[in-house]
Amino acid sequence: MVWEAIKTRHVGAERVKEARLQTLMSDFDRLKMKETEKIDDFGGKISEIASKSAALGVSIKEPKLVKKILTSLPRKKYIHIVASLEQVLDLNNTSFEDIIGRLKAYEERIQEEEEEPQDNQTTLMYSNNENQATQSNRDYNYRGRGRGGRSYYRGQGRGRYNGARDA
């Protein structure tokens, strides 16, 4: 009778463990990185699920973790690095930490690139406005000089030709 109670308790605990494991694995499968999320934070979520799973007796193999992170990244932002890593590395023999490190380096680089164009855009707009102002001043300065306008381009006007004429 005592053995039956222990056995029943163990079976119940085993079912709870299985249910928790099922929940973890479905969370793992549904996990996707948000556009605004950082690599560190997303990698932490994957690591947390892997740790909880290992505590329940089922370890998620490293290649599965690596493939999960690469397929869960926002495609628009990370497609270039994912394609490169898939081509260059043997994903079955690459550590999860290595992939996280490479992705963090890429994230920092694209963050710098996203900040730079705004500075260039501002400079371009300033430069463009400056050119327009210079052009309108030039137009103003050369108006009203006879029928041809812009005497700067046409000489002094009629009958004043200083060069030698072909006779």
Looking at residue 14, its pLDDT comes to 85
Q: Phi and psi dihedrals of 51, rounded to 5?
A: -65, -45
- Any domain includes 88: yes
- Any domain includes 86: yes
- Any domain includes 87: yes
Number of structural domains found in the chain:
1
- Any domain includes 152: no
Range of the domain at 14: 2-108
Q: What is the pLDDT of residues 127-158, one digit of tens each?
A: 555 556 555 555 555 555 555 555 444 555 55
- Any domain includes 164: no
- Any domain includes 130: no
SS3 130: helix
Looking at residue 4, its pLDDT comes to 72
Task: Give residue for tokens 């000489």.
Answer: 155
- pTM, entire model: 0.62
- Any domain includes 114: no
Q: What is the pLDDT of residues 98-127, one digit of tens each?
A: 999 999 999 999 888 877 655 555 555 555
Q: 75 pLDDT exceeds 80?
A: yes
Looking at residue 65, its pLDDT comes to 96
Q: Where are the alpha helices (DSSP H) in the chain?
A: 2-30, 39-55, 62-72, 75-88, 96-141, 151-154
Q: Lowest mean pLDDT of 22-26, 31-35, 63-67, 120-124, name the range.
A: 120-124
- Any domain includes 132: no
Short-list 47, 33, 45, 92, CA closest to 67: 92
Instruction: Please say whether the beta carbons of 25 and 53 come within 8 A.
Output: yes
Looking at residue 112, its pLDDT comes to 84
